[in-house]
Amino acid sequence: MSFMLRKSMDRRATPTRRVAPASILAVASGKGGVGKTFMSITMASAFAQAGKRTLLVDGDLGLANIDVQLGIAPETDLAAVIAGWVELDDAVTHVDGGAGAGGFDVLPGRSGSGALAELPPEEVARLAAGLSALALQYDQVIVDLGAGIEANCMRLARACDKCLMIITDEPTSMTDAYAFIKVLRGYAPNVEAVVAINQAETRASGQRTYEAIARACQTFLGFRPALAGTVMMDPKVREAIRSQKTLISTDTQAQPVQDAIAIAHALMADAPSAAVGY
């Protein structure tokens, strides 16, 4: 089943007054292709399923692909916002999670948009401020960042409360993740870095990968990032992405889906609720 699109205006018909904006979670990696978008989408659905009003932002400014993995063709996106054609909240699209999965709002990007990839710093700052304002309407915001440690990626990360590092056991993934954490510590010391190991062949190997990165952080940066959880390797993830259907909507019991849901729940348990009803 494909995700259903609906403009989000009607979804916001029942406002909830908040004493603080939603917690904003960046999903980052350093190295590309490790599973950030898969994790972001699955966790967004898990947060929504748990009753959290959730916004998923495509923060991969040059090579957006949340819409591709969701199998949706949004009418508007961040590129239209930057061009001044629509306001930020009008670029939000609602997706119905399908059977057994929560529906959530998406702020899509536009793949291959040079305008987004080369945003000047003041535009990124404006976007970050807009996201913080938009966060007032949600319980949880997830920003799926682009790979790498280039300036715009770090600027977006700085606008978040917490940064979930997705790391695999490949040495390049580990060294690039360490580099990201190091730059983040210097550039945005208030943003807490936590770690999720993805594509683990066994729980034990996942734990070893975590220990290696935690040890490097402890030795050279003087702190030990927490482990949010380990996600097992399963060819079902690739198959789901190829068919542009989310795995959580077609196979909720698949191990990587269950693992990502557990991570979302661990993050929820860590974040105090700031919402108060009318």
Ligand X SMILES: Nc1ncnc2c1ncn2[C@@H]1O[C@H](COP(=O)(O)OP(=O)(O)OP(=O)(O)O)[C@@H](O)[C@H]1O
Footprint of ligand X (CB under 6 A): 29, 32-38, 60, 65, 147, 198-199, 231, 233-234, 237-238, 241, 256
Neighbours of 170 (CB within 10 A): 14
Residue 110 binding partner per list Mg ion, ligand X, none, with a CB distance cut-off of 5 to 8 Å that depends on partner kind: none
Please give the Cα distance from 167 to 64 (Å, whole number). Answer: 20
**Partner touching 203 among Mg ion, ligand X, none, CB below 5 to 8 Å by kind:** none
The structure tokens listed for 143 are 């920003």
Strand 54-59 vs strand 192-200: parallel, antiparallel, or unpaired? unpaired
Nearest to 194 by CA among 139, 266, 272: 266
37 binds Mg ion (CB under 5 A): yes
Q: How far is the CB of 71 from Mg ion (least distance, A)?
A: 15
Tell me which residue has its CB nearest to ligand X.
Answer: 32
Distance CA 119, CA 105 (A): 24
Nearer Cβ to ligand X (76/173): 173
Region binding Mg ion by CB under 5 A among candidate stretches 7-15, 35-43, 162-170, 226-234: 35-43
* Least spacing, CB of residue 36 vs ligand X, in Å: 4
CA 192 distance to own-chain centroid: 15
Residue number, 21 or 57, with CB nearest to ligand X: 57
Minimum separation from the CB atom of position 69 to Mg ion (A): 8
* Cα 86 from Cα 76, distance rounded (Å): 8
Tokens for 82?
């930057």
38's contact among Mg ion, ligand X, none, with CB below 5 to 8 A by partner kind, is ligand X
Beta strands across the sheet bearing 140-145: 4-7, 93-96, 104-107, 54-59, 140-145, 23-28, 162-167, 192-200, 226-232
Partner that binds at residue 198, options Mg ion, ligand X, none, CB closer than 5 to 8 Å by kind: ligand X
With beta carbons less than 8 A apart as the criterion, state whether 166 and 190 touch. Answer: no
* 255, interface contact from Mg ion, ligand X, none, CB < 5-8 Å by kind: none
With respect to ligand X, which residue has the nearer C-beta, 58 or 105?
58
Residues engaged in binding Mg ion (CB under 5 A): 36-37
